[in-house]
Amino acid sequence: MKLHEDIDQVLIPSAKLRARIRALGRRITRDYTGRDIHLITILRGGLFFLTDLARAIDLPLSLDCLGISSYAGQAQGTVRITKDLDDSIRGRHVLVVEDIIDTGLTLAYIRRNLLVREPASLGICTLLDRPYRRIVDIRVDYVGFEIPDAFVVGFGLDWRGRYRNLPYIATLNPELYR
Ligand code: IMP
Ligand code: MG
């Protein structure tokens, strides 16, 4: 059984992801020129996007990871830190790198948590976005793609821990959810 056999539809093929991430990297490079940029990704979904985005930014940068418990579809709003940052962000230009923003609840929590630590600035960059699903209003500085209201996997995004290593964004065969 191969992983791709569980896929229903490929929404964003890998060439399109790569091209978009390169474009985001160019924009971030332009916007942050003259500042030291500190990328913070949210484990584990943001990892794949982070590594590609970091390599598309032509500036000196550092990075760190924040681990949180994800809600996996239900019980939204309760976010728990499972792995804190290693480095202080005080006085640094932080850019949060997320896989997907849906209700915005997760990111609103993270944003509040990070602002208390007094960064010089706090930007938000997400690969995928469903703006029409927002419960809390949140300003997002960089968006890769707006996507329709279907559960997606791949490029870091999982279903029950699987499918993160697919090199594209896809929907799963509905038979799997039964
Ligand atoms: P929010 O708090 O509703 O914005 O949820 C965002 C988080 O939910 C993301 O960081 C993901 O971990 C997870 N999530 C939301 N939609 C999907 C999806 O379609 N596939 C996989 N994970 C998702
Ligand atoms: Mg996530």
pLDDT tens track, the chain, 178 positions: 899 999 999 999 999 999 999 999 999 999 999 999 999 999 999 999 999 999 999 999 999 999 998 655 555 667 889 999 999 999 999 999 999 999 999 999 999 999 999 999 999 999 999 999 999 999 999 999 999 999 999 999 999 999 999 999 999 998 888 7
98 and 125 in contact (C-beta within 8 Å)?
yes
Atom of ligand 1 nearest to the CA of 106: 2
CA of 76 relative to ligand 2 center, distance in Å? 12
Catalytic residues: 102
Angle at Cα 105 formed by Cα 104 and Cα 109, nearest 5°?
115
Q: Which ligand is nearest to the CA of 42?
A: 2
Q: Which ligand is nearest to the CA of 102?
A: 1
Kindly report the pTM of this predicted structure: 0.94
CA of 100 relative to ligand 1 center, distance in Å? 6
β partners of residue 117:
none
Atom 19, ligand 1: residue with shortest CA distance: 151
Nearest to 121 by CA among 46, 176, 39: 39
3-state helix, strand, coil in the chain (%, to 5): 30, 30, 40
